[in-house]
């Protein structure tokens, strides 16, 4: 009996390979029409094996998502990829094993995969062959194969979960691919084009930092609480804010007009308020001895009043490790310091902003590391409403930021812990209307007491005495 079952499974996989050969190894490029924030957009999806790169494009502005076969990343409009916090990688890996037909590859078992025969099952008018598919670090799946075509009709997680259906198969070169994907009966992908690409799928790379020398030091404005410096963009010298709370790079409306730049797309920004704005392409960017090529900048209409015209965020910070030395009023690019387990603080990323775990007077919280926020700790309004016993407001101050103005309720907490560091009393506040990243912000009021090493690639931060820089 076991021999007969194994022979039947071998026959199913052999028939599937006859139809789609080595499709699991090919780079497939697909497009679909979608709606993003109420606007028509184009979705571009590139897949190869377990990897995929998905972008949603409005004009030339294409943020997206990348899966490298193991981890899921968010991708900025400048192709900077930073890991996303969702713990869905095992499920995503399972979906890619099925979607790419990786389980029919001859070496699937050698890579830790397993396919079992589940017999016959009725599914949407088809007496399908059911396969149980599992892979290393992947959720197990039931896969349904139509023996009339030897194509996958559907899949779902073993034990339940969302049910996926593959419809509207068409020939694409040597392969037969689905043009419609459904989840629980609703269409989630309706491709308009699908093509086989000869070149391999390349991962998103982001901005490239070109160094005149390594490391490279940039002088900061000694009068500023937040890290400001002079930069050159398109040959024009302007003041820049190094803002870890920014998801990419941005420029003032005044600078965009001075450079006579034309929009290449639109973008929705969020801070104390939110608004839709334009995106422009400009460059090169020179920061001391570090040079970046052309990039897409979000245009902000409300930053020139603060004295700077460029905001440099995740696209710049992810390009090279850097240390902000507040005491010596400098930023050092390209300092590749070995990790010290006793000092390293793990970073996660939420919408491309670094986030750390902290304890606020013993209360666990997650705070965005925000060098552009002058506060010490600035809690999101909704988090404080749930934990209003954290501190008693003693005074109110007016604050301004992207998208509007607000008020911040101020007080103190007796202690804060971040990584191995335990502090005494700290100023703390909560800003009305601040939705914030994570539960709030860890701002320059706290960070400026240290030299702050930020290494986005290794997902770590260190708070160092500035004398060591």
| Each residue's pLDDT tens digit, 207-238 | 999 999 888 999 999 988 899 999 999 999 99
Assess if residue 202 is contained within a domain: no
399-410 pLDDT per residue, tens: 766 655 677 889
Do 174 and 219 belong to one domain?
no
Q: Which of 164, 197, 230 is the last residue of a domain?
A: 197
- Domain C-terminal end among 305, 333, 361: 333
217 and 181 within one domain: no
Q: Outline where DSSP puts E strands in 198-248.
A: 210-211, 216-219, 228-233, 236-242
| Contacts for 433 with CB less than 8 Å, ≥ 6 apart | 272, 273, 381, 404, 406
Average pLDDT over residues 259-269: 88
Q: Which of 50-64, 103-117, 307-321, 428-442 is predicted with the least confidence, judged by mean pLDDT? A: 428-442
- Residue 421: Cβ within 10 Å count: 12
Q: What is the pLDDT of residues 406-422, one digit of tens each?
A: 778 899 999 999 988 99
Q: Helices marked H in 341-410 — which ranges? A: 381-386
| pLDDT band per the 50, 70, 90 thresholds, residue 140 | very high
Tell whether 351 and 324 lie within a shared domain. no
- Domain annotation covers residue 339: no
In a domain, 275, yes or no: yes
Instruction: For residue range 274-290, list pLDDT tens digits in order.
Output: 678 899 999 999 999 99
Query: pLDDT at residue 306 above 90?
Result: no
pTM of the model: 0.90
Q: Are 187 and 56 found together in one domain?
A: yes
Q: Which residues make Cβ contacts (< 8 Å) with residue 447, sequence separation at least 6?
A: 324, 326, 369, 371, 463
Query: What's the number of domains the chain is made of?
Result: 3
Query: Average pLDDT, stretch 302-329?
Result: 93
The C-alpha atoms of residue 447 and residue 452 are separated, in whole angstroms, by 7
Q: Is residue 448 part of a domain?
A: yes
Classified as helix, coil or strand, 237 is: strand
Question: What is the CATH classification number for the domain harbouring 260?
Answer: 2.40.70.10
Q: Which structural domain, as residue segments, surrounds residue 385? A: 345-468
In a domain, 414, yes or no: yes
User: Going along 23-96, which residue ranges are E strands?
Assistant: 27-36, 39-48, 51-57, 64-67, 72-75, 81-83
339 three-state secondary structure: coil
């Amino acid at each position: 009996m076991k021999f007969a079952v194994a022979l039947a499974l071998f026959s199913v996989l052999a028939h599937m390979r006859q139809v789609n050969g080595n499709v699991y190894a090919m780079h497939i490029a697909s497009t679909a029409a979608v709606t993003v924030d109420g606007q028509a957009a184009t979705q571009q999806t590139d897949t190869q094996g377990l990897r995929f790169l998905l972008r949603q494009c409005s004009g030339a502005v294409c943020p997206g998502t990348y899966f490298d076969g193991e981890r899921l990343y968010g991708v900025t409009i400048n192709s900077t990829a930073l890991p996303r916090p969702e713990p869905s990688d095992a499920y995503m890996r399972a979906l890619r094993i099925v979607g790419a037909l990786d389980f029919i590859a001859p070496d699937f078992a050698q890579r830790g995969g397993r396919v079992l025969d589940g017999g016959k099952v009725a599914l949407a008018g088809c007496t399908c062959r059911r396969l149980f598919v599992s892979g290393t670090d992947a959720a197990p799946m039931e896969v349904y194969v139509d023996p009339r075509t030897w194509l996958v009709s559907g899949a779902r997680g073993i034990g339940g979960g969302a049910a996926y259906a593959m419809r509207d198969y068409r020939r694409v070169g040597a392969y037969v691919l689905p043009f419609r994907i459904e989840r629980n009966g609703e269409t989630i992908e309706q491709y308009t084009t699908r093509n086989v690409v000869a070149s391999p799928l390349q991962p998103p790379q982001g901005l490239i930092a070109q160094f005149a020398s390594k490391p490279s030091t940039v002088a900061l404005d000694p009068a500023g609480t937040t890290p400001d410096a002079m930069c050159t963009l398109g040959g024009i010298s302007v003041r820049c804010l190094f803002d870890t709370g920014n998801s990419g790079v941005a420029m003032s409306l005044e600078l965009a007009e001075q450079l006579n730049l034309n929009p290449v797309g639109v973008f929705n920004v969020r801070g104390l308020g939110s608004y839709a704005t334009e995106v422009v392409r400009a460059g090169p960017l020179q920061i001391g001895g570090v040079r970046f090529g052309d990039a897409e900048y979000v245009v902000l209409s409300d930053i020139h009043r603060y004295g700077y015209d460029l905001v440099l965020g995740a696209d710049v910070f992810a390009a090279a490790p850097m240390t902000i030395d507040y005491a010596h009023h400098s930023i050092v690019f390209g300092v590749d310091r070995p990790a010290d387990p006793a000092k390293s603080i793990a970073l996660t990323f939420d919408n491309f902003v670094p986030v750390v775990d902290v304890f606020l007077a013993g209360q666990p919280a997650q705070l965005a590391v925000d060098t552009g926020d002058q506060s010490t700790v600035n809690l999101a309004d909704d988090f404080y409403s749930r934990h209003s016993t954290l501190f008693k407001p003693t005074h109110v101050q007016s604050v301004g930021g992207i998208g509007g103005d607000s008020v911040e309720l101020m007080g103190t907490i007796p202690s804060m812990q971040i990584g191995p560091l335990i502090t005494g009393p700290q100023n703390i506040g909560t800003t009305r209307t601040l939705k914030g990243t994570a539960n709030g912000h860890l701002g320059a009021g706290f960070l400026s007491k240290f030299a702050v090493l930020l290494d986005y690639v290794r997902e770590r931060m260190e708070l160092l005495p500035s004398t060591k820089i």
